[in-house]
Amino acid sequence: MGLLPVVALVAFLVVAPARATAQPGGCDPLGGGTECLLPFPSDWHTRADPTTPTGRRVAFTPDVLPRNASGSAVNPTAWNRADGFSPGATLIAHVPGLDPVASGMAPVTDIGRSLDADSPVVLLEEATGERWPHWAEIDSNDPRRRALLIHPARNLRDGHRYVVALRGPRDAAGREIPPNPAFARVAGARLAGHDPLRARQRQLRPALAALAAHGLDPASLHLAWDFTVASTRSLTGDLVTLRDDALRALGSRAPASTVTGVTDFTPEQDARIAREVTGRVTVPSYLTLPGGLPGSLLRRGRDGAPRRSPFGPVEARFRCEVPRSAFDRPSWPALYGHGLLGSRSEVGAGNVKAMAAEHGFTFCATDWIGMAQDDIPVVLAALADVTAFPAIPERSQQGLLNAIFLGRALTHPEGFAAHPAFRTGDGRPLVDTTRPLVFDGNSQGGILGGALVAASPDIRTAVLGVTGMNYGVLLNRSSAFAPFQQVLDLSYPDRLRQQVVLQLLQLLWDRGETNGYANHLGDRRVLMHIAFGDHQVANVAADAQARTIGARLAAPALAPGRSPDRVPHWGVEPVRLPHAGSAVVVWDSGTPAPPTTNTPPTGAEHGRDPHADPRSSVDARRQKAVFLTTGVVVDVCGGAPCTAPPTG
């Protein structure tokens, strides 16, 4: 089924008028009644649990979660497995009349201001008082109830507790906005036991004490709240469990595989690729549906941990492109990660073939199931009713395992190398299995690729092209989200509620994309290639990723005057090349700077989309190849900022 018919079907399902519902009893009284979960994220919506690493557990009830236009309640089971919130969570509050400029809040163009002593927004780690860099903005998509969005400039630490404080917010005329009435009472004198706000005061007392200990008088604040970031076990435990179980069962053997097709090309048919091989790799399944079909969830035991499916393994389909040079000298084994809701066939794109031919890589790809073409109906259904969303990140984790097994089959001497499809006519190998496996992905292949690189025991060096992380930040800013935004607008028409929905999705998405794994990429070498002004993957999300993983900025990054930022790429330490280690290289095709608002660059004033330009550049491919094979980022731009010729 194509995308537009599915959009129409979803529209039909969600246009029923919403039921009138009473104010749920579990809403945070500090939110002012604007949206039940605000401010978000908040430990008000957790409970004590001594069995988790954080000592907390998310405790949503259907009454507090946002209902869609048809009034459907959300099943909170998947969310309540978490012992905290996303390390990259956007912090959301509603302050009527707020003007962030008049208030002096740090914008995305001047993140350093967020650490000033008088910053009107303070984000600090509760235990240490460390101030955390961030930027603040008003939701530019909402002309009425415009949410205040506070974005950590690098991911928060797994398992740690943070406090947010707002002080002295002002309206457009510069007038100070009166304190949140409920918070003023909570922050004041001890309330009587029968007072409706007494429970909130008791819960918030440690956070207020932490603020006071670090020089912020709670009585002077407009609003404050606290939240716990999910532990590493909560974020990555499902994938680690199924990975370890599958690899333990595999042992030292190669994964079972079947070749289903071998196509040899003459030089006239394809001057770069000599052979295309397709087939299937057998992978243990941890999904609930036979064959791991779209819509599957992880099968879980009584303890909630993933368990092997009773339906047997899944067959991960693959496609490999073998360059002509491999028939003279065995090629380097490489995995490729495809783009948004695409398929393994992207490994046959011209830029991937060029990379293979120019630098002697055999690229193999499998579908990123969970976020592949077959999953489009599930994605649309999840945007219509978020109860369906867990199938996306949970099936994605099986997709990551499939990629790990494909990589093991590609590099094991008794895997693909033992099949005639991966040998010359006289029996010589086409792939050098003594070389370490590497990864190269673009767009979604980069966004999910960081999770693969963190989880794979075989990949130590990777290129993440036109990448970023954290879909909760990316979607508002992506031109590629436009058809999906239509569904979200129908199902959750209130834009303030949409912001809450996006952050709820991110809490689960962390388990299947880089955002949940970025704090653990420090022992990998990762090269990030960024297209300046990218219309599909926002540069702000790439900068946050670079700060989080400790990547260095290849300098000079941009020509003077190209960036609107006071300090371009604030917090990403510059380095002159060559550099051995993780780095981010910015490729400039002349596209105007991206919007400084949470909106996509879709108007004519934003120029053409440079999203495909870095991978299409001969120089960029040369830099990628050297990095993948040596771990060193070399200068291919003559000491100047890197530029990529516009494609198309």
Residues 495 and 381 in one domain: yes
pLDDT band at 495 (very low <50, low <70, confident <90, very high): very high
Q: DSSP secondary-structure letter at 231?
A: P
pLDDT more than 90, % of the chain: 95
Q: Quick one: pLDDT at residue 573? A: 98
Residue 12 has pLDDT above 70, yes or no: no
Per-residue tokens: 466: 């036109």
**167, 18: one domain:** yes
Q: Does the structure show a pLDDT above 90 at 10?
A: no
C-alpha span between 600 and 181 (Å, rounded): 35
Looking at the structure, do residues 343 and 209 belong to the same domain, yes or no? no
Q: What is the DSSP letter of 159?
A: T
Task: Tell me if 371 sits within 8 A of 444, measured CB to CB.
Answer: yes
Residues 218 and 325 in one domain: no
Report how far residue 434's alpha carbon sits from residue 431's, in angstroms, rounded to the nearest whole number.
9
Report in angstroms the alpha-carbon separations of 618 from 47, 316, 344.
54, 32, 23
What pLDDT was estimated at residue 234?
Answer: 98
Which residues lie closer than 8 Å to 303 by C-beta, 6 or more apart? none
Averaged over 227-242, what is the pLDDT?
A: 98
pTM as predicted: 0.95
pLDDT of the residue at 32: 84
State the pLDDT at residue 430: 98
Residues 42 and 152 in one domain: yes
Residue 139: domain span = 3-88+90-228
pLDDT of residue 33: 82
CATH label of the domain that carries residue 340: 3.40.50.1820
Q: Any idea what the Cα angle at residue 315 is, between residues 310 and 320, rounded to 5°?
A: 160
**DSSP bridge partners of 124:** 131, 163
Q: Would you say residue 387 lies in a domain?
A: yes
| Interatomic CA distance for residues 437 and 411, integer angstroms | 7
Residue 186 lies in a domain: yes
Tell me the C-alpha distance between 51 and 55, whole Å.
7
One domain for residues 224 and 332: no
In this prediction, residue 7 carries a pLDDT of 47
Which of 168, 200, 228 terminates a domain? The answer is: 228
**Is the peptide bond preceding residue 556 cis, with omega within 30 degrees of 0?**
yes
Mean pLDDT value of segment 418-429? 97
Domain count, the chain: 2
pLDDT for 269 equals 98
pLDDT at 279 over 60: yes
258 in a structural domain: no
Boundary residue ending a domain (204, 228, 252):
228
Same domain, 334 and 454: yes
User: How does pLDDT run across 362-373, given as a tens digit for each residue?
Assistant: 999 999 999 999
pLDDT over 70 at 102, yes or no: yes
Q: Which residue, of 168, 199, 228, is where some domain finishes?
A: 228
Cβ neighbourhood burial of 101 (10 Å; 0-12, 13-18, 19+): exposed
> For the segment 505-536, what is each residue's pLDDT rounded down to a tens digit?
999 999 999 999 999 999 999 999 999 999 99
The pLDDT of residue 319 is above 80 = yes
236 in Cβ contact with 455 (< 8 Å):
yes
pLDDT of residue 17: 37
Residues 325 and 224 in one domain: no
Mean pLDDT of the chain: 95
SS3 471: helix
pLDDT above 90: residue 629: yes
In a domain, 452, yes or no: yes
User: pLDDT grade, residue 34 (50/70/90)?
Assistant: confident
Residue 345's CB is within 10 A of a number of other CB atoms, namely 13
Q: Does residue 115 fall inside a structural domain?
A: yes
DSSP code, position 208: H
User: 183 and 75 in one domain?
Assistant: yes
Asked whether the predicted pLDDT for residue 498 surpasses 50, the reply is yes
- pLDDT band at residue 1 under the 50/70/90 scheme: very low
Query: Which tens digit of pLDDT belongs to each residue from 172-198?
Result: 999 999 999 999 999 999 999 999 999
For 415-427, what is the mean pLDDT?
A: 97
Q: What pLDDT score does 24 carry?
A: 34
